[in-house]
């Protein structure tokens, strides 16, 4: 059973989301909170698998609450992949501004969705994030790619200068792992990687696990950001795929 926490000061909205989630045999809403601080307190008392977190809330906003929950410093995109059982966050907001998308993922959120996301897509996103993967609204992807490179210090159309640690990470990847990282950045699923690179599923899963660990990526979205930031793939390449 996937346990879900809802953090949003619009109680009419959360009531509707709770009804949608409650209709599923594999999900349940464990608690609801009207601000980020209450969400953190409720989760400390009754940890859930996934929190749907609004951004604009009184007392403590959703991005600050997410950062406090994940323990990430402001502006940092990559973090060690959390162990199973750790609460994951999906930012669920009305606005897909560059600031919200970048700051939300930078705070350690595993997903970013808009409130007009169809119910079936929201349910699928919860299951995806619970499984350890990440999701991001298609409409928000371009905003993220337009903003993330300047935030990380590179010129808009040139790869960011690589520091010694980042270069060491890339050099530590085997040729196959580098190939897998680029495939992940292009949005290939594990099945597609198997078919296109002619490797078995267990081998793909092992390589993906190694790539996430070596690049200190929490999930596939973080790996995509790493590949983009280091110039392994271009913005146009990502948008095309």
* 3-class DSSP assignment, residue 197: helix
Q: How far apart are CA 199 and CA 207, in angstroms?
A: 10
Q: How far apart are CA 233 and CA 113, in angstroms?
A: 24
H or E stretch covering 101: helix 98-106
Are the C-beta atoms of 108 and 67 separated by less than 8 Å?
Answer: yes
pLDDT at 16: 96
Same domain assignment for residues 100 and 16? yes
Same domain assignment for residues 189 and 106? no
CATH of the domain at 133: 3.40.50.2300
Are the C-beta atoms of 221 and 134 separated by less than 8 Å?
Answer: yes
Last residue of a domain, one of 103, 122, 147: 147
Q: How far apart are CA 88 and CA 203, in angstroms?
A: 26
Instruction: Dihedral sign for Cα 87, 170, 112, 58, please.
Output: positive
Same domain assignment for residues 117 and 181? no
Same domain assignment for residues 182 and 72? no
Q: How far apart are CA 220 and CA 30, in angstroms?
A: 27
Last residue of a domain, one of 147, 171, 196: 147
Are the C-beta atoms of 74 and 27 separated by less than 8 Å?
Answer: no
pLDDT in tens, the chain (241 residues): 999 999 999 999 999 999 999 999 999 999 999 999 999 999 999 999 999 999 999 999 999 999 999 885 444 444 444 444 589 999 999 887 767 877 887 788 888 899 999 999 999 999 989 988 778 775 555 555 555 543 444 444 444 567 788 888 999 999 999 999 999 888 788 899 999 999 999 999 999 999 999 998 877 877 887 888 788 887 666 656 5
Angle between helix 190-197 and helix 175-185 axes, rounded to 10 deg: 130
Same domain assignment for residues 206 and 225? yes
For residue 95, report the phi and psi dihedrals to the nearest 5 degrees: -110, 135
Same domain assignment for residues 74 and 143? yes
Same domain assignment for residues 84 and 8? yes
Last residue of a domain, one of 147, 169, 191: 147
H or E stretch covering 149: helix 138-151
Same domain assignment for residues 181 and 216? yes
The number of distinct structural domains making up the chain is 2
Range of the domain at 189: 155-240
């Amino acid at each position: 059973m996937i346990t879900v926490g809802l953090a949003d000061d619009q109680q009419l909205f959360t009531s509707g989301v709770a009804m949608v989630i409650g209709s599923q045999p594999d999900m349940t809403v464990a608690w609801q909170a009207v601000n980020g601080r209450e969400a953190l307190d409720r989760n400390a008392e009754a940890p859930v698998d996934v929190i749907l977190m609004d951004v604009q809330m009184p007392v403590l906003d959703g991005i600050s609450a997410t950062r406090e929950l994940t323990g990430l410093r402001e502006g940092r995109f990559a973090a060690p992949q959390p162990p199973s059982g750790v609460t994951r966050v999906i930012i669920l907001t009305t606005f897909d501004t560059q600031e919200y998308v970048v700051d939300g993922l930078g705070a350690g959120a595993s997903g970013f969705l808009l409130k007009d996301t169809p119910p079936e897509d929201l349910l699928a996103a919860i299951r995806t994030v619970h499984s350890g993967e990440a999701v991001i609204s298609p409409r928000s992807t371009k905003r993220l790619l337009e903003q993330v490179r300047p935030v990380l210090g590179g010129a808009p159309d040139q790869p960011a200068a690589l520091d010694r640690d980042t270069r060491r990470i890339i050099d530590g990847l085997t040729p196959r792992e580098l190939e897998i990282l680029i495939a992940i950045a292009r949005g290939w699923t594990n099945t597609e990687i198997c078919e296109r690179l002619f490797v078995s599923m267990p081998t793909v899963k092992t390589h993906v696990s190694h790539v996430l660990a070596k690049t200190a990526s929490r999930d596939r979205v973080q790996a995509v950001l790493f590949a983009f930031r280091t110039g392994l793939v271009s913005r146009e390449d990502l948008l095309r795929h």
